[in-house]
Structure 1
């Protein structure tokens, strides 16, 4: 009856609003985070299996690589038994993985606990990579926003061309060029890193060159991403309406264009975290920086599987945390823009 009356009078029957409970949304977020973590944990486990198999395929082993001159075949055999190299690789991989949840990364070929070996080196790398990531975010957003104020202008074309050029240059090439110009030619900055007794750089000035070597290529890459995101957002109807209302270009950029482009920009910057950790291996070797790059180089030379796997596990965990945080930030920004 009520429905007929509403139809006859032309009124539109009220539709009850459906409001999702906050608790349900929270559980959905928790479930999604758990699924993402599980998927990336399985991916990391597969990568660690590849690491064990790859080191096994290299010529030589940890016993021969770390042996002293003049050791007999019996001595090498005893050392292989001590390091567990006479056991199948699958068995060694399972033993190492079983200790991973408790933080036990095994023992290096030199008899040192891998966890203690990385306790100092990995924080140094995180400081270097984190500083480079922060500089990359600031510089790329600033340059892209600056170029977006005058689309297709001289500044826009210059920023786009330079960002493409610097991204094409590998980190170690940038590192060598920085050493040549800022250290050997001018003497402004130290070319190598000296450490204190606690294993950290002796001076903050020793962080400048390796940080710049990591920042320059990733700034080029993220500037291109940010510029493209700003260009896409500038074509949105509400942005065009703001321009037609006569708002100043700077205000349109900061209040309308940039907030809408932030999810894409955040994803690009988060992706750079993995590239920065990978590039740190080469850059730290060039500057003798006391991070995981030097540790990993020595471990590869020594065929030291537990150390290589430990570095891989820590780097994978750090990248997973950064990417997960970026996903949550992107979802929050996207939801806030709706």
Structure 2
């Protein structure tokens, strides 16, 4: 009598984490796509506001470039040449249609906007990125240092200093740095000299502009780091780590800080816009070859395409940092689930 064929062996069930990975990846992709779409829509609205705001200013690019004694016919001809006699919505739609191809339009000077921003915008990115990295490092160090000594003198001093530094505008910090480090001591150059490539001729010329941006934003983010860590110390797993007698440093870095990452990432990402916005003022004071001077001249000349080009470049950089913060927050939250 033949023996019955053995039943097929059931495959071993996948681990719970491995089985849930495709679902989490799909949810993360949907969240990232939604965040990117919201950022893109916000940029479109911002650009529409820029076009409308420049249109509302007195005069236009034709009158800003007009010479004394120029006739009305010549002014009308220049306005037609610049396309200012067309409706605002038509000019905006034309500019937005060309944007996906990398065409930022033609400035009132007759040059391509991408050509005008080719040198200044990388310099502004260098300034902003340097200030951003230094802000992150100092904020984390000071916030963790204060959180390790809650209620003590160190915690109070760091808190008061952070509040005071954030309350001081960038242009005040810049003036103080110029007085102390340049005029009184002569340690650093007061203005930025560019080299043959259009970048600052020496790294020393970056020190004061970077410090002027870092001081206010470090104060802001130090408060965020300190508050996020304080919230985490009240959670059960951190309290359990304290009751187990773990060292304060280990409790902060291994138990409290990972849970505080979403709040810290959001605060630091928000500082990107403040850094780039403050860079416009700082660049003007230090004669730094960035988009600050370009933007000031474009506003005076009512040069809408050039202003919009600066806004879209800065907005894209800020949106990328915010999107990275969204990804980091989603990953941390997903890892906890």
Normalised TM-score (structure 2):
0.92
Q: Report if the CA contact (8 A) 1:282-1:293 is conserved.
A: yes
SS in structure 2 at match of 1:293: helix
Which residue pairs with 2:217 in the alignment? 218
Mapped to 1, the partners of 2:17 and 2:143 lie a distance apart of: 41
Mapped to 2, the partners of 1:305 and 1:72 lie a distance apart of: 24
CA offsets per residue over residues 28-65 of structure 1, 9 Å max, x none? 22222222222221221111111111101111111121
Mapped to 1, the partners of 2:64 and 2:240 lie a distance apart of: 68
CA offsets per residue over residues 78-109 of structure 1, 9 Å max, x none? 11111111111111111111111111110111
Mapped to 1, the partners of 2:67 and 2:30 lie a distance apart of: 53
Which residue pairs with 1:23 in the alignment? 22
Mapped to 2, the partners of 1:17 and 1:104 lie a distance apart of: 49
2:124 maps to 1:125: yes
Deviation at 1:334, TM superposition (A): 2.8
Deviation at 1:25, TM superposition (A): 2.8
Mapped to 1, the partners of 2:318 and 2:246 lie a distance apart of: 40
Mapped to 2, the partners of 1:44 and 1:153 lie a distance apart of: 45
Mapped to 2, the partners of 1:279 and 1:174 lie a distance apart of: 11
Mapped to 2, the partners of 1:63 and 1:20 lie a distance apart of: 64
Which residue pairs with 2:71 in the alignment? 72
* Structure 1 gap segments, 5+ residues each: 1-15
2:188 maps to 1:200: no
Which residue pairs with 2:189 in the alignment? 190
Distance 1:179 1:100, change over 3 A: same
* Structure 2 gap segments, 5+ residues each: 1-14
Which residue pairs with 2:281 in the alignment? 282
Which residue pairs with 2:173 in the alignment? 174
SS in structure 1 at match of 2:150: coil
CA offsets per residue over residues 289-331 of structure 1, 9 Å max, x none? 1111111001001000001111111111111110010111122
Structure-to-structure mapping, 1:258-297, within 5 angstroms: 258-297=257-296
Mapped to 2, the partners of 1:18 and 1:116 lie a distance apart of: 50
2:125 maps to 1:109: no
- Give the RMSD, CA atoms, in angstroms: 1.7
Q: Report if the CA contact (8 A) 1:195-1:202 is conserved.
A: yes
Mapped to 2, the partners of 1:27 and 1:337 lie a distance apart of: 17
Deviation at 1:262, TM superposition (A): 1.8
Mapped to 2, the partners of 1:304 and 1:327 lie a distance apart of: 34
Which residue pairs with 1:160 in the alignment? 159
Q: Report if the CA contact (8 A) 1:263-1:333 is conserved.
A: yes
